[in-house]
Amino acid sequence: MKKELTALFEPLSLKSGVQLNNRVVMAPMTHFLSNDDGTISNDELRYYAHRAEGPGMIITACANVTPNGKAFPGQPGADRDETISGMRELVSTLKSHGAKAVLQIHHGGRACPPDLVPNHDVVAPSASTTEGGIEVRELSTDEVEGLIKAFGEATRRAIEAGFDGVEIHGANGYLIQQFFSAHTNKRNDRFGGSIENRLAFPLAIVDEVKKVVAEHAKSPFLVGYRLSPEEPEAEGITMEDTFGLLDALTEKNLDYIHISLMEFWSKPRRGTEDTRSRIEIILDRIAGRVPVIGVGSIYSAEDAAKAMTSGVPLLALARELIIEPHWVQKVKEGKEEEIQTVLHKDDQERLVIPNGLWNAIVNTPGWFPFADESQNR
């Protein structure tokens, strides 16, 4: 193993008492593999089993906490107790080689396709018509408070299934982020208006999840939070807004904050005059109070080594662990040159990528790097 990569294999003890055996995280990725009713499928188990050896922590695809929070076909559900038995099988698969298993909990809000939610009733912080022409209904205050409880109930189910923790999905334009963003939150109750009010829903979910963990977990159980630091819209989240969110989250005794980025070294749009990358600015703002997970187009061992120079304590791989399921082992064994960093058209069976996910990859140009058969990035 190259010297500059040794830090990836140092253990880490989180605030909850959960111990990670290395600093590599399998990032949460939509996989379209669960059964239609949200229970865990055999394809899903095979997909994860092929990738479970190596990462210190594996975060699942996002699981909806209520029936009206489903944002993807084939999304796992954590919205009712009937999903627990299948989740236990998933936990066993994820933990089979020593990784910690974390369930990402989620509500899609205005990003939910009408066909996937009961009565086509798409809900969000505020009424609107989406870019795709979907009519969105504003949640009542009572419904908002019910959703906070739903995140707690999903956490209880994760505990009963044997997960080592949950990650609250406050990123990528879904419901929690919609409440924080002035672009999508036009409410005039205690959950809207000022930045303090727009923080109320995300922070109430953190408090509820932590409360449920204290009541139900019999062993160390982590709580993480994922966020997107900026939005492109004029009224969208800025880096300055995110500083407020980060400051509030660091007071919540979280195990980590996960920064969702498409490119690890991407620069801020607005809200700061700092010209460094977002991840460097965020690391400075948090100042070691909470471990940070960095992610974003990390493919090769060289990409990872460069990312670690930022000082980020945990590094997540997303698409790369689909392309190269044995990335961690190859780095550990000094076989970095054997790491595959692009997909080939005949890779599906060898990489154990079920049809639903493979079709999504192939039919979404630019999502994954593809190459001619003679190439390997």
DSSP 339: -
- Report the Cα 288 to chain-centroid distance in Å: 21
Mapping DSSP to helix (H, G, I), strand (E, B) and coil, where does residue 311 land? coil
Give the residue numbers marked as catalytic.
Answer: 174
State how far the Cα of 220 lies from the Cα of 165, in Å rounded to an integer.
8
Phi first, then psi, for residue 12 (nearest 5°) are -140, 130
Judge residue 288's burial from the number of C-beta atoms within 10 Å of its C-beta, 0-12 exposed, 13-18 middle, 19 or more buried: exposed
79, 97 contact by CB (below 8 A) = no
Beta strands 12-13 and 19-20 are antiparallel
